Chains A and B, each alone.
Chain A
């Protein structure tokens, strides 16, 4: 006798692809739409405007509240310059379109992962039972090598951006759930008690107390989701997702060192910019809490 769990998973996936194809077609269309939508916005805008907008954002977020002061410049100036130089470099190397594709893929994956992960995190924060069930699933999702997700993704969603995004979502989802859950559970007990004692409904408690106080932690989750999405771009390109990841993958297949290096450099630049921007998202609420 032998136990073959892989067989059952395979059977399950096959069953899904034959019996629920309509459902997966709908998901494919939906995700595809989100990706193309974002991509269209970024490619329609002239490159210099995109660069300026991103540079402005990377200046504005850390320098909030002291925009036109020396301090503000110290906090955000360096990053703004880096954004301009880095993105212009990518443009000059001829990778602009791929860069925009990658940004669209990352944003689409991250937005969907957050749209699923944050509510799930809220739910598991309010329900110990749910947390007990969700936690091991998240552990499993994160420890499973990301490549493995590609196989069912390709069967259910064929090739292209969509299976890439799906695999990315699965891989990047856990921190959104975890940190939302953590943030809400860490809201001081007596603040929650106070809110209940004044007759708030569960909804009022969530929106007026728990979410505002958990915001810093939730935004740390947003940062992690985006960084994990970025780390998936090369892997996702193996199932046909486009962008810089695909260039790296081509470089690997063709043993083209120059191509691999340039596209890889592009990913690093994007990583630094996205990391800084999303890291500073939470600064505002953190400052409020400390004051």
Chain B
């Protein structure tokens, strides 16, 4: 298995495809093209790379072309132009025989409305892919039973699928997709038809399952929260185009345009935005056994802060020093900084992946800024209290500074 590269993919529905493609290249939008040629633009100029073993989420409003894009991967829809490279070959160039082989062995799909066979039992639904491959009955039922167990449906093997709840039906759908042990799972709004509670459960279980099976998953959703929760990376689609690709955090902290911003505005960012994205990088710091109180004070004044992190010669974080204490020591001459450094009592350093929501309570009993360190305790940055609060109330840095100046934020 390898990564999958999508290059210059276009899907146009209608008779005058060539014409429509030309107009698209001239920069006309979807509505104009529909007007002029009667063609619908499903997907336009999509370039992306899905990495092996990641959950790649495609998100966008209804009609933005997500399903169309997904169906190009197993060619349930034939793209007008472009290429999708997997294992060194272009899926879009495969002949019927090769395509069937790809569908049987490499890629399976989970559908929004399950797409189960109502006249069959759970186990025979799960075994469907294997049956299509021509595996004999005993073998495929054995595999089906095992797969049914992994999706938590043990005991339901011989029920008819119509008797099951939506959530259980989708587990059958998932089991069916896993039974052939494919490299890639295509999931089209797989949880969108489920009740919110069951939906959350399924998301959790998918994450759990993924940590075991490590498939490459392409997951379609129109729900940002779902995208943020599941996606290692997210592509945001609008009118057939991809407007941004990034990690959940990148999408939240740095939306590419107003469309993405509009999505992002109503999200609870606390769980997604991490210390890394709000920290000040390469902060001013004090080297222990090297810098004295005078240097510390000068640096503080220069940067305009009331405390500074202290590091050793390898840039490993040790603690903080405060301005008032430094001021008191200023004329004492030779002092050991380590004696005046605050290092013990409270948590003073976090990892860059710590979500903002977890940072906030730490600040409550910590008057200092927070150091961000890597695994070897090397200082990466400093998070200040105001950034965290700002992040939690979804204002950007400048706005927070302004509020602070107006005396609205007590720090």
Contacts and interface: CB of A to CB of B under 8 A. Distances in A.
Interface of A: 188, 190-191, 193-201, 204, 208-209, 212-213, 285, 288-291
Given A194-B116, A199-B103, A290-B162, 8 more contacts: A188-B115, A190-B113, A193-B76, A193-B115, A195-B128, A197-B76, A198-B109, A200-B132
Assign chain B's interface to a size class.
20 to 34
A208 B117 CA distance: 9
Interface of B: 74, 76, 99-104, 108-109, 111-119, 128-129, 131-133, 160, 162-163, 176, 180, 186
A212 B119 contact: yes
Contact of B111 (A194, A199, A288): A194
A188 B111 CA distance: 12
A199 B119 contact: no
A289 B111 contact: no
B125 to A, nearest CB: 9
A197 B132 CA distance: 11
A195 B76 CA distance: 11
Summarize A's interface: helix, strand, loop or mixed: helix
Contact of A288 (B104, B109, B114, B160): B160
Contact of B132 (A198, A212, A290, A291): A198
B119 A213 contact: yes
* 4 nearest A-B pairs in the assembled complex, by CB-CB distance: A194-B115, A199-B103, A199-B104, A190-B115
Nearest to B186: A197
A197 B74 contact: yes
B114 A198 contact: no
Contacts of A193: 76, 109, 111, 115
A191 B116 contact: yes
A289 B108 contact: no
A111 B102 CA distance: 41
Contact of A199 (B118, B133, B162, B176): B133
B160 A198 contact: no
A285 to B, nearest CB: 7
Contact of B108 (A198, A208, A209, A212): A198
Contacts of A213: 117-119
26 contacts: A188-B113, A188-B115, A190-B112, A191-B117, A193-B76, A193-B115, A194-B115, A194-B116, A194-B176, A196-B76, A196-B103, A197-B103, A197-B108, A197-B109, A197-B186, A198-B103, A198-B128, A198-B180, A199-B133, A200-B100, A204-B132, A208-B117, A212-B119, A285-B119, A288-B160, A290-B162
- Which of B99, B102, B103 has the largest number of chain A CB atoms within 10 A? B103
A289 B112 contact: no
A194 B109 contact: yes
Contacts of B101: 199
Contacts of B99: 199
B26 to A, nearest CB: 33
A291 B160 contact: yes
A193 B160 CA distance: 20
A54 to B, nearest CB: 29
- Which of A191, A201, A212 has the largest number of chain B CB atoms within 10 A? A191
A197 B184 CA distance: 12
A198 B128 CA distance: 8
Nearest to B118: A289
Contacts of A209: 117
B117 to A, nearest CB: 6
Nearest to B130: A198
